[in-house]
Chain A
Amino acid sequence: MEPWIDMIQIFKQTNFDFLGKKWYFIGLSWLLILAGIVSVFYRALDGDPNTTPFNMGVDFSGGTLATVKFRESPDLGKLREALASQKIDPTGISLQPVSDRIGQAPANEVLVRLPNLVHIEQQAGQSATAAQSKEGADIGKQKILAGLAAFNDPSTQGKVDLNTNGVDDLREALKSRAGLESQKAGDVAQRIVDYREKSSNGLIRNLSEVKNLSGVDPQIGDAIDKNFFAGFASVKSVEAVSPQVGADLRNRAVYVTIVACIGMLIFIAFRFKSWGFGIGAIIAVFHDVLVTLGIFSIMHWELNLTVIAALLTLVGYSMNDTIVIFDRIREMLRSRRRETLEKLSNDAINQTLSRTVITSGLTFLTVCAMLAFGGEVLKSFSWCLFIGIIIGTYSSIYIASPFMLLWEGWRGSKRKATVSAPLSSEETVSTATPATAGGVTTQMLAAAGVSTKPRKKGR
């Protein structure tokens, strides 16, 4: 009676020999890591300041990142010139048009990236983060605004731009130029800005839009015509970071990643009562981080704080996969003592294959949803996870287990001479199991201190 045969199954009892071919895959990993390292050095040493090893976000390198919205598709060359005229080194300016989303009006937005323009004064003995700035971090934004003025019609000289001023400045301008009294001026200014931000997607295209707003009487409309204009561009959002902050965040990112990994190593070694498992897991995690960073270098995706968050999530996720396999190995160690660790590991991987593929697949699907629909801000984050999940799953099979085996094998062979494993009362008495060539028996593990006794629990 097998009423459950109609289960839908991807993997029925599989028996792939994963670990047999492990050296090929370890070799593949080395290749990937090498490719990443080559990319880093190539970009760093080619003498071209435009290509940096990593595409560091402003979070780490300092500088300015602004989203500038234009009335119509802008001439990037002209924009670059306009910015360069503000005494910014043109090779440091990066302009990237924002891709249009399907089914929506063209955004006409450009991501403007400026290098760090702030000079800092670092006194002897002072850390980089406590150094004093000569200018504010917003110097980049001021220069962008000044440069954007070049796009406006010369006839607008002397008038106030409705697109680049905030409520307070507009209110003051309405008071002084249009003669409005304070309360009314404030009200009109607020309406204009609300319209600009909430209804017009950040840019007013035409003065007539503003004159039609409720609360704007005809004579105010006239005054607006005379004294204001709708600029060609507006700055929708800004991220400006001073070099001290960049240095601080860089240090913290590295520090935390390393500490997190060490923390995991200790946790796993403790849980599985053997360094081998911990080492295997940690090497897998380091491998994941290195390969992912390498690919980021090759593809030149932006490296910012959210990517570091993704990286740390990845570390946790890769650990998950590895732990599932190790848990299974540990469970099998209790019942199948005579077999080599390698065989047990292989079987464990096969048994958990179904779960591994399904979970990775499902998480992968959610990441794909993020990549497709998540927008610009989450792009780098999504890519990091996209690669990370693939690499993480792969490493749990082909990096964690083999290195764990290597370590245990090394430990086991060191202890070979002194094997006299105490048999637990639940084992049948047998002669000492011969160690298979290159393999590790559970006896050896017991001698090495790995707990293989079954848990004395009910059920």
Chain B
Amino acid sequence: MNRNLRTRSIIIAIITALCLIIMFGPWHRTGKSAGDFFKPSKLKENLSENIKLGLDLRGGTHLVMQVQADDAIKAITDGNVLKVDSELKKLNIPFTAVKSPSNGVVVVETPDASKQSEIRDKMLPYFGGDTEWNVSTSSNPASVTFSLNSAAADRTRREATEQAKTIIEQRINQFGVTEPTVQLHGREEDHQILVQMPGIDDPERVKKLIQGQSKLEIRAVAGFGQKFATKAEAEATLAGAADKEVLPYNEKRGDGGADTGFYVVEKVPVITGADLRNARGVQSQQGFGYEVAFDLKPTGSEKFGTWTGNNVGNYLAVVLNDEIKSVAVVRSRIDDSGRIEGNFTRQQSEDLGLVLKSGALPAKIVYLEERTVGPSLGADSIRQGMVSLVVGLGLVILFMLFYYRFSGLNAVIALALNLIILLAGLAAFGATLTLPGIAGVILLIGMAVDSNVLIFERIREELHAGKIVRSAVDTGFDKALVTIIDTHVTTIVSAAFLYAFGTGPIKGFAVTLTIGLLANLFTAVYVSRTMFIWELNRGGRRAETISI
């Protein structure tokens, strides 16, 4: 029996030590020193670093946004409408109208029914072939209809959402927040993205950052790069051309001032932010000032190469949110990388590079859920949670000591160990402690004690039935074990459902409860038993009474 007791004690001691090390170790610190392991102030710091706090305790912002994925389809459709319009004119094919009656549908009406097949064959390549768009013809009036097939539509929507998520992630990461969360949310057809920023309690700031500079395009400048002083002058030269528009120009100069004006640019961009692969500020090749060097993705470089090849000597404009940031002349054909010259300062070139690199959000986003917890509220919640915890714990301990006397101490030690293992478990698994999680711990105290109550009551019963002490303790544990396992399994099952269904704070509750219950299985059975064995063998003689 003694050897058994020794083995058990060693196991318990090792586990306790392990848990304490996990809880109080400086695992998150980069430069460790010996003092990190021992000094009380450092230990407290380590503990707060090791245990991840949820947004409701730390303060922070929680946003769920929906990507208006249909906009992405609309953008493609509108782009195609303009494209078809201009190409048909170039090829001199007669048509009465090109329109888009609904998202993903382009209809070309022509007075000449015989031209239908020609229209179809010549225009289909601009739609990317027949893998994504279906073509059909009809008469009266004679028209050719291009419609986006549903598989392609779904794919476009899904890609728009993922692209938005990647871009948002990049922008958020540049913010320098500790452990932000950016992930897809809900089911696929919901097109939702979740963003969590702990410690940032100003959601407007987050939203601005996410929106960022969301529309980036490179467009052709009409005429010979002529800049106009006023909008009216610029518009006068439009002469009703439907494919051009006037945009304001605002470029910061190195001396702090800005060049302003208006340009006439084509509506349809040559390339958009989505085609950019990389962009960065670099020193100018002429030696003075800075430029922005950029690389294009294959799809983009094809488009850009074709266009620049045909337009050497013409001008292009870098347009950001419908404002022209920079105008440059095309010196030669640019295929997959090029430079934007503009006499930038180093800061400007880096900023512009960053802007170009983060790309453009492919569609508008609308906020579905916004929750902020200010840090003061978070601190309040922690304090209130802790106070309830301590009070609840105190009451339970008092009762146990009073009702079960020395065995009550047994239960209290088991409970203390339970909480230590629970905290270590949270730290080890990186689980998040939320306010409902603290409530879960408080609840757990009641349930952990329940296991001990079951055992002790059983032992009392056996004693009343006349069994000797040792036998009573053994039987008590055995009979109670079945019930303890049953009750723990049922509660863990309900915690599993909570985890599956719940959002952040509730998931935290479920995880805390589960870890605590598993820890309790260990402490209430193994540790309590060990303590009884010790108590019964105290002083080397077999005990005849126990305090219970």
Interface residues of A (CB under 8 A from B): 3-4, 7-9, 13, 67, 127, 129-130, 132-133, 135-138, 141, 166-169, 193, 197-198, 201-202, 236-242, 244-245, 248-249, 252-253, 255-256, 259-260, 263-264, 267-268, 271, 305-306, 308-309, 312-313, 315-317, 319-320, 323-324, 327, 331, 351-352, 354-355, 358-359, 361-367, 369-370, 372-375, 377-378, 381-382, 385, 459
> Which chain B residue has the least Cβ–Cβ distance from A355?
B457
Asked if B497 and A256 make an inter-chain contact with CB atoms under 8 angstroms apart, the answer reads yes
Q: Does B68 contact A (CB under 8 A)?
A: yes
Chain B min CB distance to A176 (Å): 14
Within 8 A of A (CB), among B272-327: none
Q: Does B14 contact A (CB under 8 A)?
A: no
Chain B min CB distance to A5 (Å): 10
> Which chain A residue has the least Cβ–Cβ distance from B393?
A366
Residues of B within 8 A of A67 (CB): 377
Q: Render B487-505 as a binary contact track against A, CB cut-off 8 A, 1 for contact.
A: 1011101110110111101
> Which chain B residue has the least Cβ–Cβ distance from A9?
B460
Q: Does B548 contact A (CB under 8 A)?
A: yes
Apart from A239-B370, A377-B435, what are 18 other A-B pairs with CB-CB below 8 Å? A167-B205, A244-B368, A271-B486, A306-B505, A309-B502, A320-B450, A358-B403, A362-B453, A365-B395, A369-B391, A370-B439, A373-B384, A373-B388, A375-B380, A375-B384, A375-B385, A377-B56, A378-B388
Q: Does B189 contact A (CB under 8 A)?
A: yes
Q: Render B514-548 as a binary contact track against A, CB cut-off 8 A, 1 for contact.
A: 00000000000000000000000000000011101
Asked if B388 and A377 make an inter-chain contact with CB atoms under 8 angstroms apart, the answer reads no
If A236-B374, A264-B490 touch, does A248 touch B367 (CB 8 Å cutoff)?
no
Residues of B within 8 A of A362 (CB): 395-396, 399, 445-446, 449-450, 453
Q: Does B479 contact A (CB under 8 A)?
A: yes
Residues of A within 8 A of B87 (CB): none
Taken together as a complex, chains A and B put the C-alpha atoms of A137 and B402 apart, in Å, by: 54
From B70, B204, B366, B457, contact of A133 by CB (8 A): B366
Chain B min CB distance to A352 (Å): 8
Q: Render B353-373 as a binary contact track against A, CB cut-off 8 A, 1 for contact.
A: 000000000000011111111
Asked if B497 and A260 make an inter-chain contact with CB atoms under 8 angstroms apart, the answer reads yes
Residues of B within 8 A of A264 (CB): 490, 493-494
Q: Does B424 contact A (CB under 8 A)?
A: no
Chain A min CB distance to B516 (Å): 12
Chain A min CB distance to B505 (Å): 7
Q: Does B203 contact A (CB under 8 A)?
A: yes
From A252, A256, A331, A359, contact of B446 by CB (8 A): A359
Residues of A within 8 A of B203 (CB): 138, 238
Residues of B within 8 A of A459 (CB): 474, 478
Taken together as a complex, chains A and B put the C-alpha atoms of A257 and B502 apart, in Å, by: 11
If A136-B366, A312-B498 touch, does A374 touch B506 (CB 8 Å cutoff)?
no
Asked if A309 and B436 make an inter-chain contact with CB atoms under 8 angstroms apart, the answer reads yes
* Range for the number of chain B residues in contact with chain A: 35 or more
Asked if A359 and B506 make an inter-chain contact with CB atoms under 8 angstroms apart, the answer reads no
Taken together as a complex, chains A and B put the C-alpha atoms of A251 and B303 apart, in Å, by: 48
Residues of A within 8 A of B189 (CB): 127, 130
From A168, A260, A359, A372, contact of B388 by CB (8 A): A372
Residues of B within 8 A of A245 (CB): 64, 368-369
Q: Does B266 contact A (CB under 8 A)?
A: no
Asked if A323 and B366 make an inter-chain contact with CB atoms under 8 angstroms apart, the answer reads no
Chain A min CB distance to B418 (Å): 14
Chain B min CB distance to A328 (Å): 8
> Which chain A residue has the least Cβ–Cβ distance from B61?
A238
Taken together as a complex, chains A and B put the C-alpha atoms of A201 and B375 apart, in Å, by: 9
Asked if B369 and A359 make an inter-chain contact with CB atoms under 8 angstroms apart, the answer reads no
Chain A min CB distance to B428 (Å): 24
Q: 6 tightest CB-CB pairs across the interface, nearest first?
A: A363-B446, A166-B202, A366-B392, A316-B494, A375-B384, A136-B367
Chain A min CB distance to B87 (Å): 32
Q: Does B233 contact A (CB under 8 A)?
A: no
> Which chain A residue has the least Cβ–Cβ distance from B387?
A373
From B395, B494, B544, contact of A315 by CB (8 A): B494
From A166, A256, A268, A358, contact of B205 by CB (8 A): A166
Taken together as a complex, chains A and B put the C-alpha atoms of A41 and B56 apart, in Å, by: 35
Asked if B395 and A8 make an inter-chain contact with CB atoms under 8 angstroms apart, the answer reads no
From B202, B372, B449, contact of A167 by CB (8 A): B202
A-B residue pairs in contact (CB < 8 Å), sample of 17: A4-B463, A13-B464, A129-B186, A130-B191, A138-B203, A198-B376, A244-B66, A268-B490, A309-B510, A323-B487, A324-B454, A355-B450, A358-B453, A359-B446, A366-B396, A372-B388, A375-B381
Q: Does B208 contact A (CB under 8 A)?
A: yes
From B371, B439, B495, B502, contact of A378 by CB (8 A): B439
Q: Does B442 contact A (CB under 8 A)?
A: yes
Asked if A365 and B490 make an inter-chain contact with CB atoms under 8 angstroms apart, the answer reads no
Asked if B372 and A309 make an inter-chain contact with CB atoms under 8 angstroms apart, the answer reads no
From B388, B498, B500, contact of A369 by CB (8 A): B388
Chain A min CB distance to B20 (Å): 25
Chain B min CB distance to A118 (Å): 9
Residues of B within 8 A of A132 (CB): 66, 68, 70, 366
> Which chain A residue has the least Cβ–Cβ distance from B383?
A375
Asked if A242 and B368 make an inter-chain contact with CB atoms under 8 angstroms apart, the answer reads yes
Residues of A within 8 A of B372 (CB): 237-238
Q: Does B109 contact A (CB under 8 A)?
A: no
Q: Does B447 contact A (CB under 8 A)?
A: yes
Taken together as a complex, chains A and B put the C-alpha atoms of A367 and B444 apart, in Å, by: 11
> Which chain B residue has the least Cβ–Cβ distance from A135?
B366
Residues of A within 8 A of B509 (CB): 309
Taken together as a complex, chains A and B put the C-alpha atoms of A250 and B28 apart, in Å, by: 39
Asked if A129 and B369 make an inter-chain contact with CB atoms under 8 angstroms apart, the answer reads no
Asked if A377 and B381 make an inter-chain contact with CB atoms under 8 angstroms apart, the answer reads yes
Q: Does B443 contact A (CB under 8 A)?
A: yes
Q: Does B112 contact A (CB under 8 A)?
A: no
Asked if B368 and A133 make an inter-chain contact with CB atoms under 8 angstroms apart, the answer reads yes
Chain A min CB distance to B508 (Å): 10
Chain B min CB distance to A424 (Å): 20
Asked if B392 and A370 make an inter-chain contact with CB atoms under 8 angstroms apart, the answer reads yes
Asked if B385 and A366 make an inter-chain contact with CB atoms under 8 angstroms apart, the answer reads no
Residues of A within 8 A of B384 (CB): 373-375, 378
Residues of B within 8 A of A364 (CB): 446
Asked if A197 and B190 make an inter-chain contact with CB atoms under 8 angstroms apart, the answer reads no
Within 8 A of A (CB), among B372-417: 372-377, 380-381, 384-385, 387-389, 391-393, 395-396, 399, 402-403, 405
Residues of A within 8 A of B494 (CB): 260, 264, 312-313, 315-316, 319
Chain B min CB distance to A354 (Å): 5
Taken together as a complex, chains A and B put the C-alpha atoms of A352 and B453 apart, in Å, by: 11
Asked if B371 and A239 make an inter-chain contact with CB atoms under 8 angstroms apart, the answer reads yes
Taken together as a complex, chains A and B put the C-alpha atoms of A256 and B375 apart, in Å, by: 32
From B370, B446, B491, contact of A240 by CB (8 A): B370
Residues of A within 8 A of B510 (CB): 309
Residues of B within 8 A of A240 (CB): 367, 369-371
Asked if B373 and A237 make an inter-chain contact with CB atoms under 8 angstroms apart, the answer reads yes
Residues of A within 8 A of B186 (CB): 129, 248
Residues of B within 8 A of A306 (CB): 436, 505-506
Asked if B495 and A316 make an inter-chain contact with CB atoms under 8 angstroms apart, the answer reads yes
From A263, A319, A381, contact of B436 by CB (8 A): A381
Within 8 A of A (CB), among B458-495: 460-461, 463-464, 474, 478-479, 482-483, 486-487, 489-491, 493-495
Q: Pick the most buried of B208, B374, B445: most chain A CB atoms within 10 A of its CB.
A: B374
Asked if A320 and B395 make an inter-chain contact with CB atoms under 8 angstroms apart, the answer reads no
Taken together as a complex, chains A and B put the C-alpha atoms of A324 and B490 apart, in Å, by: 12
Chain B min CB distance to A168 (Å): 5
Asked if B369 and A327 make an inter-chain contact with CB atoms under 8 angstroms apart, the answer reads no
Chain B min CB distance to A290 (Å): 17
Residues of A within 8 A of B405 (CB): 8
